[in-house]
């Protein structure tokens, strides 16, 4: 089995490269300290274009990459997504986890386990509905593994992920962009082992953003 964490690291590197390109091309310095937020405010279309470019880049990675989970690359026609919606990009306040039981053993889809750390709880609202989700730390990556009301319907039943470098956390806040929520590799090939979201990270609302499954759109 291939552990999905290796894939997450390569995906982060790819996304950061695309972000750098679009910030140089579309963003001019201003006062909020959040270049992507400024891009949404000043040029919403540029933000949407940026996300769509990230998706095209990922499609190319899946089509040609040596570690792609796509078995039949010749027939691959791209991943499926909800339309980009800036409303699903939210600022979350983090309450650091201070309990003695920071260590958390996460199960993988193949029955193996791995050790993560409870980093803290992200508090935010989507569509005026407050949410509280556990952020996990593994090495230098902060992960949000979650399910929502689209899981098993429009999206992969095992849940979706968001991953960020630890440096993305500033003053106990982080920007969660659910337009970037993605399916793990085990959604495409069972030879990959993927971490299972903690039970407490089941959202009671649908997240109509990010990656879908092919079955849901055909």
Task: Give every CB contact of residue 122 below 8 A, 6+ residues apart in sequence.
Answer: 92, 93, 94, 131, 132, 133, 134, 135, 144, 174, 176
Domain extent, residue 68, equals 2-217
Separation between Cα atoms, residue 105 and residue 198, nearest integer Å: 10
Q: How confident is the model at residue 4, as a pLDDT? A: 62
Contact (Cβ atoms closer than 8 angstroms) between residue 168 and residue 116: no
Q: How confident is the model at residue 17, as a pLDDT? A: 47
Separation between Cα atoms, residue 44 and residue 39, nearest integer Å: 6
Q: How confident is the model at residue 11, as a pLDDT? A: 52
Kindly give the confidence (pLDDT) of every residue in the chain, 218 residues in length, as a single tens digit, with 9 standing for 90 and above.
446 654 554 455 444 444 444 444 444 444 456 778 887 888 889 999 999 999 999 999 999 999 899 999 999 999 999 999 999 999 999 999 999 999 999 999 999 999 999 999 999 999 999 999 999 999 999 999 999 999 999 999 999 999 999 999 999 999 999 999 999 999 999 899 999 999 999 999 999 999 999 887 76
Q: How confident is the model at residue 18, as a pLDDT? A: 46
Q: How confident is the model at residue 52, as a pLDDT? A: 97
Q: How confident is the model at residue 39, as a pLDDT? A: 77
Phi-psi region of 97 (alpha: psi -120 to 50; beta: other; left: phi over 0): beta
Q: How many domains, the chain?
A: 1
Contact (Cβ atoms closer than 8 angstroms) between residue 12 and residue 43: no
Q: Determine what percent of the chain falls in helix, strand and coil, rounding each to the nearest 5.
A: 35, 30, 35
């Amino acid at each position: 089995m291939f552990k999905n964490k290796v894939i997450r690291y390569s995906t982060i590197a790819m996304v950061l490269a695309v972000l750098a390109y679009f910030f140089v091309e579309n963003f001019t310095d201003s006062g909020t300290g959040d270049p992507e937020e400024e891009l949404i405010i000043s040029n919403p279309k540029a933000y949407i274009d940026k996300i769509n470019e990230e998706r095209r880049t990922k499609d190319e990675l899946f089509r040609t990459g040596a570690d792609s989970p796509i078995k039949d690359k010749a027939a691959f026609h791209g991943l499926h997504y909800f339309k980009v919606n800036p409303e699903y990009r939210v600022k979350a306040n983090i309450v650091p986890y201070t309990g003695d039981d920071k260590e958390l053993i996460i199960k993988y889809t193949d029955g193996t386990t791995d050790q993560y750390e409870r980093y803290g709880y992200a508090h935010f609202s989507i569509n005026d509905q407050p949410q509280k989700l556990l952020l996990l730390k593994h090495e230098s990556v902060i992960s949000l593994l979650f399910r929502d009301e689209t899981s098993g319907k429009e999206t992969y039943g095992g849940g979706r992920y968001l991953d960020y470098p630890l440096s993305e956390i500033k003053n106990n806040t982080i920007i969660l962009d659910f337009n970037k929520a993605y399916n793990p590799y085990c959604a495409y090939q069972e030879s990959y082992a993927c971490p299972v979201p903690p039970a407490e990270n089941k959202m009671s609302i649908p997240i109509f953003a990010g990656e879908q499954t092919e079955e849901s759109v055909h």
